[in-house]
Structure 1
Amino acid sequence: MATRAMLRGYLLEEALAWLLRHSGYRLLVNAEQDPEELVSDGGNLRVRGRGAVHQVDVLGEFAFTPAFSLPVRLFLEAKYYRTPCRLEVVRNAHGVIHDVNENFMNRPGSRPRRRYQYSYALFSANGFTSDAQEYALAHQISLIDLSGESFTWLLEAIKEAAQDLYTAQVQHHVTSFPVSWMRAELRQRLDTGPLDLLPVVNTGAPGFRAAAKSRLADFVASLTTHHESELLLGFPAAPFVLPLAASDAQQFMNYADTHPDHVVRLRRTGQNGDAEWTVSPREPGGGYLLTFKLPEQIEDWISDNAEKERQRTMQIKSEFLAGITVYRMVGAGVRSYQLRYEPSELRR
């Protein structure tokens, strides 16, 4: 039987796949998309490693290969615990990435095959413990904290849907929750396919299936009510990814398409783990606003000395946030945008 925390995590992963639908990644859902690297096991997708085959719930492939790099694939894992995500989860992520990135051996007589660089992004509804953050920064595992106000609507919708699914599971005596079936249902409704390659997964207990379908439809409706919302991935010169929440993505696109390389204003409000940042064009009339959170470890360093807080804020801006690259799918192509912070912009 699936716990409420497990159900919240599954729903969060699928919601994130939808929010990231234009971020430059295409979703991999079936081994037919890459028979040499991927394995389909019932409704589950697995990735071959050097020493094991690893299950993956959400796997994206970046549509654009950066210069002097391998094609990039991204593991996306989400945890919706009531407490901060602990070290063991991050350590497991590192073990998976280390194994799959070593799965490339030349055998005598074997033909050359394509190689990928796998990365890992771990999202948490309630942040991460300090040792988890230290480990992740050391091993370049991207930790993304969703506890800010920008994601309150999303987390509340997930919490409600997970409770209803858990209740339906109990009422209909379902001992093994059909996770693969639920993922396929959500991907069909949210169009995060590719739909022609989604596994066909059936589940028993027709009463449960009807109740779950109804609740999933309500959940999808709550997401699409925020259809203008989007999560853009920002890539700074730092060992982490910035989750740029756009309450109205079209406003960003209207400005960025005209100004693909532009100077931005960065503002920070709050302290420690409650601090949030905003990005907006420095020139007046830009109209868009993006919000993000930095790793809590960095925020703690900024805030632990009141006399140096302003100086440290400016230091983070100049050293880590001076250039943020955003990629976005437009039709079948990928566009890149450069958001530049200039040190002369001396505002907090």
Structure 2
Amino acid sequence: MPISIATVRGYVLEELLAKLLQDNGYRLLVTEEQDPEALKDSGRGLLVHGRGTTHQVDVLGELDLPLPFSLPLRLFVEAKHRARPTGIEHARNAYGTIRDVNEHYSAKTPGTYHIPMKRYQYQYALFSASGFTKPAQEYALAQQISLVDLSSPDFDELLTSVDDLAVRIVDLAERTGLTSLPLNQIRHALRHALGTWPANVDDETFPDLASRIQQVRDHTGMPTFSSPTLGLAVTHDRARAGLEVALRRMEADYEEQDLPARELPTDKLTAIVVDLDDFGLDRLILGFPSAPFVLILQVENPDTFAEYIDNPRNSDIWVHLEYPRDRRDNRPLSRDWTIVPVDDAARFRLSFTLPAILADWMLSGQVPIWSLREAKTTLLSSIVIIHNGRLVRLLYQPHQG
């Protein structure tokens, strides 16, 4: 694949989201040997068998909790990190993919008898750093495709870190003399650095990456590459900023190495990705409401929150939903909402941004106040989070009076 900052930052964002999935109860699938009947390795990544064809998947997670009277859940994750809002064509592709894979099954099972393989219910979550067009939102809502909008200022720090990391990887590729980008190697490096590569699965493609990353972390005195001096947060035009950084040469000298023309130097790539655990993902939690969308909850005080929900008695937590409102009719004035526990002793706060299509509906001025209350008591009445293998429900309670 041609060398492109835009391409790399999309892949980096997906891998950080894979880490977020893992931290929220999902087991990541990265190789065919984890499920030979449903998955297939290719030279460029993992494929999932469908009824009609196989489908490329960059991040695939399986919910690591049993669901009574339900097929086990698997989730496709795709991330778009570009200047324009993500359009309806991507939502259509997502729907076509999960419909095909959900209709696939096989009776080929090793042994004397042939029984149907273990089946799964596949779902799709599409993340976008620049939001979504209205047609994409309407289509996704109708087809139960989860759209997660990362264009809120709350995610600027995350996206800036993604941009900086992408610039450093592209700079390394150019200095190494590559004419195409080894995305498979980059993905493996990110997964070993983030701890999302399963511990019981050997990396047969890049066996040296995991050991090298661990060696670097064991020797804190080993130098690493510094971030570019141009912070991408200072400009709203990330694409242009990334280009300017890529054109500016970093001061470090790269010694010549006898490497395959399609690979990055292991030591240099390791030095770039080794500090990925500092990206602040501990402040983000996935929330699953009783609605066809996913919320990313921002935790203001992670330690206090974790301590409270670690108590097994706090499986159901009553909360208020608060938002800036018009004093005349209590209508929301923004997409930004806050979750505050009813229990004063809890001392935590969570915030989230409503999906744009839902926020527009509430802010339009055409919706009666009773409908706003109905939205909270239906769509947002119960938000499920998964913490340390346990389900915790945030249950909406209206303010009294």
Q: 1:319 to 1:207 in 2, by over 3 A?
A: closer
Residue 345 in 1 paired to residue 349 in 2? no
> For the aligned residues, what is the CA RMSD?
2.6
Residue 250 in 1 paired to residue 286 in 2? no
Alignment partner, residue 270 of structure 2: 213
Alignment partner, residue 268 of structure 1: 323
1: distance between equivalents of 2:372 and 2:163? 34
Which 5+ residue runs of structure 2 have no aligned equivalent? 207-258, 326-330
Check the 8 A contact 1:237/1:320 in 2, yes or no. yes
Partner of residue 241 from structure 1, selected from 294, 303, 312? 294
Q: 1:243 to 1:188 in 2, by over 3 A?
A: same
Check the 8 A contact 2:385/2:393 in 1, yes or no. yes
Query: Secondary structure at the residue paired with 1:197?
Result: coil
Partner of residue 179 from structure 1, selected from 161, 178, 183? 183
Question: How far is 1:138 from its partner?
Answer: 0.7
Check the 8 A contact 1:30/1:38 in 2, yes or no. yes
Question: How far is 1:6 from its partner?
Answer: 1.4
Q: 1:81 to 1:311 in 2, by over 3 A?
A: farther
Check the 8 A contact 2:323/2:332 in 1, yes or no. no
Residue 156 in 1 paired to residue 160 in 2? yes
Residue 189 in 1 paired to residue 246 in 2? no
Residue 293 in 1 paired to residue 353 in 2? yes
Question: How far is 1:286 from its partner?
Answer: 1.3
2: distance between equivalents of 1:269 and 1:213? 45
Flag as ranges the 4+ runs of structure 1 deviating above 6 A.
270-273
Deviation string, structure 1 residues 229-264 (Cα, Å, up to 9, x no partner): 2x3222222111222232443322222233211210
Question: How far is 1:83 from its partner?
Answer: 1.7
**Structure with more of its chain in strand, by fraction:** 1
Residue 28 in 1 paired to residue 83 in 2? no
Alignment partner, residue 325 of structure 1: 384
Length-normalised TM-score, structure 2: 0.77
1: distance between equivalents of 2:178 and 2:372? 51
2: distance between equivalents of 1:239 and 1:290? 20
Query: Secondary structure at the residue paired with 1:147?
Result: coil
Matched AA of 1:340 = L
Check the 8 A contact 1:235/1:324 in 2, yes or no. yes
Greater alpha carbon shift after TM alignment, 248-257 vs 55-64? 248-257
Check the 8 A contact 1:263/1:340 in 2, yes or no. yes
Residue 204 in 1 paired to residue 264 in 2? no
Alignment partner, residue 232 of structure 1: 285
Residue 122 in 1 paired to residue 126 in 2? yes
Within 5 Å, give how 1:13-162 maps onto structure 2.
13-42=14-43, 44-104=45-105, 110-162=114-166
Matched AA of 1:243 = I
Deviation string, structure 1 residues 191-210 (Cα, Å, up to 9, x no partner): 11104425343573477555
Check the 8 A contact 1:150/1:291 in 2, yes or no. no
1: distance between equivalents of 2:100 and 2:84? 29
Matched AA of 1:335 = R
Q: 1:198 to 1:76 in 2, by over 3 A?
A: farther
1: distance between equivalents of 2:333 and 2:358? 9
Q: 1:156 to 1:168 in 2, by over 3 A?
A: same
Matched AA of 1:264 = V
1: distance between equivalents of 2:383 and 2:40? 35
Q: 1:69 to 1:145 in 2, by over 3 A?
A: same
Length-normalised TM-score, structure 1: 0.88
2: distance between equivalents of 1:185 and 1:77? 19
2: distance between equivalents of 1:25 and 1:309? 39
Check the 8 A contact 2:72/2:121 in 1, yes or no. yes
Matched AA of 2:392 = Y
Greater alpha carbon shift after TM alignment, 269-278 vs 91-100? 269-278
Q: 1:221 to 1:27 in 2, by over 3 A?
A: closer
Q: 1:221 to 1:243 in 2, by over 3 A?
A: closer
Question: How far is 1:113 from its partner?
Answer: 1.4
Check the 8 A contact 2:22/2:196 in 1, yes or no. yes
Check the 8 A contact 2:107/2:117 in 1, yes or no. no
Question: How far is 1:295 from its partner?
Answer: 1.4
Question: How far is 1:175 from its partner?
Answer: 2.2
2: distance between equivalents of 1:346 and 1:293? 24
Q: 1:56 to 1:150 in 2, by over 3 A?
A: same
Alignment partner, residue 335 of structure 1: 390
Question: How far is 1:15 from its partner?
Answer: 0.9
Question: How far is 1:315 from its partner?
Answer: 3.1
Matched AA of 1:299 = A
Check the 8 A contact 1:76/1:121 in 2, yes or no. yes
